[in-house]
Amino acid sequence: GAVVSQHPSRVICKSGTSVKIECRSLDFQATTMFWYRQFPKKSLMLMATSNEGSKATYEQGVEKDKFLINHASLTLSTLTVTSAHPEDSSFYICSASYRGRNYEQYFGPGTRLTVT
């Protein structure tokens, strides 16, 4: 149990366009969803935390107008990278937690974004 999916797994887009990444908890209702970014050979960097129906809480240095997060339901959160630039190319990973498992975080498989 506790499976988290992400879609798409890979996406290539042109500079200036926007791209949306979906994160779904498949077999549980997530209390909270988290969005991370990972650079090559670096640790995961938390971008934002979101609870269903409320605004996301962004970490310091993360532009909320550039990385739009919508948490429409207990099983779905989306991250939209707006006006993408090559420096936004990265590996984006979401996770979901719920109270029933001591808030253990379950991670999605990640999305590789390449901006050309």
Partner 1 sequence: KQEVTQIPAALSVPEGENLVLNCSFTDSAIYNLQWFRQDPGKGLTSLLLIQSSQREQTSGRLNASLDKSSGRSTLYIAASQPGDSATYLCAVRSGANSKLTFGKGITLSVRP
CB of 80 to partner 1, least distance (A): 20
User: Are 36 and 91 contacting, i.e. CB atoms less than 8 angstroms apart?
Assistant: no
Which is closer to partner 1, CB of 6 or CB of 25? 6
Q: Quick one: which of 11, 13, 46, 76 contacts partner 1 (CB under 8 A)?
A: 46
Q: Quick one: which of 21, 24, 33, 34 contacts partner 1 (CB under 8 A)?
A: 34
The contact mask relative to partner 1 for 64-93 (x = CB under 8 A, - = no) is ---------------------------x-x
What is the total count of residues that contact partner 1 (CB under 8 A)?
25
Evaluated on CA atoms 10, 85, 95, 43, the torsion sign reads: positive
φ/ψ (deg, to 5) at 101: -120, 40
Q: What is the DSSP string of 64-82?
A: TTTEEEEEEETTEEEEEE-
